[in-house]
């Protein structure tokens, strides 16, 4: 080989599988993908290729957004939806993280809970909406219950898997340093699996947004999902687009917050 | 040695009082693994003795059960037969009286070097000042003072194992168990680590049981070698090592060293 460096490049270049990309190029490509989707949207709507009743132009969507925020208190819808998501998410986390740790660490707890949760996990949370309306009514707790139904079993199982990722050697070495069996979960398994758990929480929060929107489409009088289903009934397609964009942006913001938290908490990684 | 007396007193004092205390007495130890298909005898009729301040190496080919034997000494595995006595007490489980260094890197990744070394001392609930003093002492011993605030991911393999050794020794165990601790290191680093652990042993005289498949490593380090045979694992022979006390890398070229190495190699080949 004339240029030995070329050979190295061949396996680490951006185009090789598992290759690397510089930060700047990454950002540029990410922006390009957003711009491309936007361009296609702007083009087909402004050229009249699709019926404006079914797909609004970007300008019309902005107009809808302005109206929603100024005249139809959309901010309140966002607040309500965010509140429901966070409540459902927090309640799920408070239960699923400790129980998931126990399921991951202790075989008898695993036997008691893991198969049951694996079963419940397959029941679509949205299918519980009629039942929850009967049981709980149509107030806040019903929406939150739907989110918990969708998030908790998944999160619990994910946390259990996270704790099992901790190398057994770490547990054993702690024993040889005097750690008691009853405390090893707290002293070794929890800190070691915390980064994985945070990542699971991040994933689950994304799913919680799906459940809240569905829950708000049935028996609700506020929230982003409610606004969207109302807009569908009145054929205000621009509002639906605003709703979609709002959920997407909120998701992105929460995702970034989690990634920031990960950087701050786990410098050791 | 720190001034603070450990329960059994200063090691050198003990040495003066009586000739040598037995730290490990393993007699007719047996380990049978029950699998669905059959019972596999990993170890059979293993007997060995490690005296205080000895540096004992256990050599054998892969799969001869030497790691299993060490794990049973640590209390991480239970023998299915025979008896293991550590300092007059049968082994009932793992404990801080037997420190262990694994082949895999087992530093706690979320703790700094300093916190890792301190871990066992906190478990012992030693007073803070005493912890500080011991941590400083061992950071010095393993020459990692500059890295006290570093996380394990920032360390090389050799440095990680040095911290692991410091962490195990800091608890002042009666016995240091080492399971191929240098097995994952490159040959140069491995050589440095061998010198390093021998130096520590000469300075502090911890009692060490060291498992390896590297014959040269065993001969270079040990005061006594147990050669194991495989399937089922047995202790084949006990070989005292009469080589100079101060060991340097050029020892590996001497006739005495080579002869002993060949003798063990021969034993392992005629398994």
Q: Do A176 and B123 touch (CB under 8 A)?
A: no
| pLDDT for position B88 | 87
CA distance B209 to chain A (A): 15
Contacts of B151 in chain A (CB under 8 A): 267-268
CA distance A89 to chain B (A): 27
Q: Which pLDDT tens digits describe chain B residue by residue (271 residues)?
A: 444 444 444 444 444 445 678 888 898 999 998 888 888 888 888 999 999 999 999 999 888 889 999 999 999 999 999 999 999 889 999 999 999 999 999 999 999 999 999 999 999 999 999 999 999 999 999 999 999 999 999 999 999 999 999 999 999 999 999 999 999 999 999 999 999 999 999 999 999 999 999 999 999 999 999 999 888 888 989 999 999 898 999 999 999 999 999 999 999 988 6
Best to test chain B binding among A174, A176, A265 (most B CBs inside 10 Å): A176
Q: Greatest CA span in chain A, whole angstroms?
A: 76
| pLDDT for position A77 | 95
- Give the model's confidence band at A19: pLDDT under 50 very low, under 70 low, under 90 confident, else very high: confident
| pLDDT for position B265 | 94
Catalogue all structural domains in chain A, each as residue range(s) with its CATH number: 10-46 (no CATH), 58-265 (1.10.3720.10)
Best to test chain A binding among B97, B99, B109 (most A CBs inside 10 Å): B109
Cβ pairs bridging A and B (under 8 Å): 66
Query: pLDDT tens digit string along A114-159?
Result: 999 999 999 988 889 999 999 998 888 999 999 999 999 999 999 9
| pLDDT for position B86 | 92
Q: Do B109 and A177 touch (CB under 8 A)?
A: no
Query: pLDDT tens digit string along B70-80?
Result: 999 999 999 99
Query: pLDDT tens digit string along B226-239?
Result: 999 888 888 989 99
Report whether pLDDT(A9) > 70: no
CA distance B67 to chain A (A): 13
CA distance A167 to chain B (A): 9
Query: pLDDT tens digit string along A193-238?
Result: 999 999 999 999 999 998 999 999 988 899 999 999 999 999 899 9
Q: By the CB < 8 Å criterion, does B74 face chain A?
A: yes
| pLDDT for position A5 | 54
Q: How far, in Å, CA of B169 to CA of B161, rounded? A: 12
| pLDDT for position B3 | 44
Phi, psi of A135 (to 5 degrees): -75, -45
Closest CA to A196 of B110, B257, B64: B110
Q: Do B100 and A172 touch (CB under 8 A)?
A: yes
Best to test chain A binding among B98, B102, B107, B180 (most A CBs inside 10 Å): B102
Report whether pLDDT(A33) > 80: yes
> Which of B189 and A2 is assigned the larger pLDDT?
B189
Mean pLDDT of A38-49: 93
| pLDDT for position A82 | 95
- Give the model's confidence band at A10: pLDDT under 50 very low, under 70 low, under 90 confident, else very high: low
| pLDDT for position B63 | 83
CA distance B156 to chain A (A): 15
Contacts of B98 in chain A (CB under 8 A): 176
Of B102, B119, B151, the CB nearest to A177: B119
């Amino acid at each position: 080989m004339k240029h030995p460096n070329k050979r190295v490049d061949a396996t680490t270049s951006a185009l090789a599988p598992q290759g690397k990309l510089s930060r700047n190029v990454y950002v540029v490509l990410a922006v390009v993908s957003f711009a491309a989707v936007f361009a296609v949207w702007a083009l087909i709507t402004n050229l009249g290729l699709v019926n404006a009743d079914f797909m609004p132009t970007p300008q019309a969507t902005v107009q809808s957004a302005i109206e929603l925020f100024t005249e139809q208190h959309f901010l309140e819808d966002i607040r309500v939806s965010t509140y429901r998501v966070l409540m459902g998410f927090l309640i799920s986390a408070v239960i699923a993280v400790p129980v998931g740790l126990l399921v991951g660490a202790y075989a008898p707890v695993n036997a008691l809970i893991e198969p049951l949760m694996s079963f419940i996990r397959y029941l679509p949370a949205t299918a519980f909406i009629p039942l929850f309306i009967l049981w709980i009514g149509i107030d806040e707790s019903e929406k939150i219950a739907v989110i918990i139904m969708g998030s908790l079993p998944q999160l619990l199982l994910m946390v259990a898997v996270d704790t099992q990722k901790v190398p057994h050697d770490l547990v054993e070495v702690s024993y040889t340093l005097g750690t008691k069996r009853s405390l090893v979960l707290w002293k070794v398994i929890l800190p070691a699996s915390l980064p994985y758990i945070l990542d699971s929480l991040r994933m689950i929060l994304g799913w919680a947004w799906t459940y809240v929107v569905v829950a708000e489409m049935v028996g609700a009088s506020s929230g982003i999902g409610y606004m969207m289903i109302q807009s569908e009934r009145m054929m205000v397609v621009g509002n639906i687009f605003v709703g979609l964009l709002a959920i997407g942006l909120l998701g992105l913001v929460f995702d970034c917050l989690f990634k920031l938290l990960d950087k701050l908490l786990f410098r050791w990684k | 040695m720190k001034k603070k007396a450990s329960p059994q007193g200063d090691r050198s004092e003990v040495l003066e009082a009586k000739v040598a205390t037995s730290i490990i007495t393993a007699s007719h130890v047996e380990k049978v693994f029950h699998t669905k298909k059959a019972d596999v005898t990993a170890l059979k009729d293993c007997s060995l003795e490690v005296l205080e301040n000895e540096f004992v190496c256990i050599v054998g080919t892969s799969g001869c059960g030497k790691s299993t034997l060490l794990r049973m000494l640590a209390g991480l595995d239970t023998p299915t037969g025979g008896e293991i006595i550590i300092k007059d007490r049968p082994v009932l489980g793992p404990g801080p009286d037997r420190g262990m260094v694994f082949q895999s890197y087992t530093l706690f990744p979320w703790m700094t070097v300093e916190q890792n070394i301190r871990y066992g001392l906190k478990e012992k609930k030693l007073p803070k000042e005493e912890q500080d003093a011991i941590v400083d002492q061992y950071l010095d011993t393993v020459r990692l003072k500059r890295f006290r605030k570093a996380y394990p991911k920032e360390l090389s393999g050799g440095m990680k194992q040095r911290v692991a050794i410091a962490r195990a020794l800091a608890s002042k165990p009666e016995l240091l168990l080492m399971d191929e601790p240098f097995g994952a290191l490159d040959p140069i680093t491995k050589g440095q680590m061998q010198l390093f652990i021998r130096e520590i042993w000469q300075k502090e005289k911890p009692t060490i049981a060291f498992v390896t498949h590297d014959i040269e490593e065993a001969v270079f380090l040990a005061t006594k070698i147990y050669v194991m045979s495989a399937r089922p694992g047995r202790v084949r022979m006990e070989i005292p090592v009469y080589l100079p006390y101060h060991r340097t890398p050029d020892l590996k070229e001497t006739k005495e060293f080579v002869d002993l190495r060949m003798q063990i190699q021969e034993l392992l080949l005629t398994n």
